[in-house]
Amino acid sequence: MARFPNWLVSLTRSAVGTIVFGFVLCGPASADLVTIDENCHGTITGEDGIPVALLCTLKDDPGLGGLSSVVTYTLPFAGVQGDVLLTDADFGGQFLDVIRFNGDGTVIFYSDNVEGFDALADTPSPPGTFYGNTFSIAELGPEGNNGASYVPSSGPPAQPGFAPAATYRFISDATVAAVAEPSPLALLLIGLGVMAFVLKRRGLGMG
């Protein structure tokens, strides 16, 4: 049986360890609790109880009657297409905020501007047209710290945002705690640094 040089064995072990480390930190999150707010702060918390930050950008809504430059979160699963209307008892039970699932892994937060444009998700109006699949839920909590919990049903028909094991928390006024996590690029640089260090220790460094 062929024997490999000790430096190659060490290098292989380092590379495998780096790959496993990166997968643990950057692997796909479990679709358990998705929490989003009006200011592009969102997390997804899996079975391990550790929240992972969601990607959020301002971009045009390609859905029915969609507006431009709206708060758009990217989920690790598609979610059933449809609109969730958040009703407010302080305003006669009418809906003020709209959470839109476009069925492509994006969820958009349309927030009211009743108290002025004080959040990234505040828009001049809700979407011009709603999907046929809509569901209304009431916001709970005092003004300034209210929101709604949502567990979509599989139906049939499946409710907006449905995905196996997915539940949601929509925060209207408060803010989701920020979550920091290493980026894939940072992990790649760490891995390359480890490999370069091993090579140098074995007298095989480049340059």
As a whole number, the mean pLDDT across the chain is: 78
State phi, psi for 107 to the nearest 5 degrees. -130, 130
Average pLDDT, integer, range 6-28:
41
What residues contact residue 166 under an 8 Å CB cut-off, 6+ apart? 31, 32, 34, 77, 79, 152
Q: Which of 22-31, 60-69, 95-104, 174-183 has the lowest mean pLDDT?
A: 22-31
Whether pLDDT at 154 is above 70: yes
Decide which of 144 and 132 is more confident.
132
Average pLDDT, integer, range 173-177:
61
Q: Which of 27-36, 62-71, 97-106 has the lowest mean pLDDT?
A: 27-36
pTM comes to 0.69
Q: What is the DSSP letter of 82?
A: E
What H or E segment, with its residue span, contains residue 6?
helix 6-26
The C-alpha atoms of residue 133 and residue 157 are separated, in whole angstroms, by 9
Average pLDDT, integer, range 178-201:
49
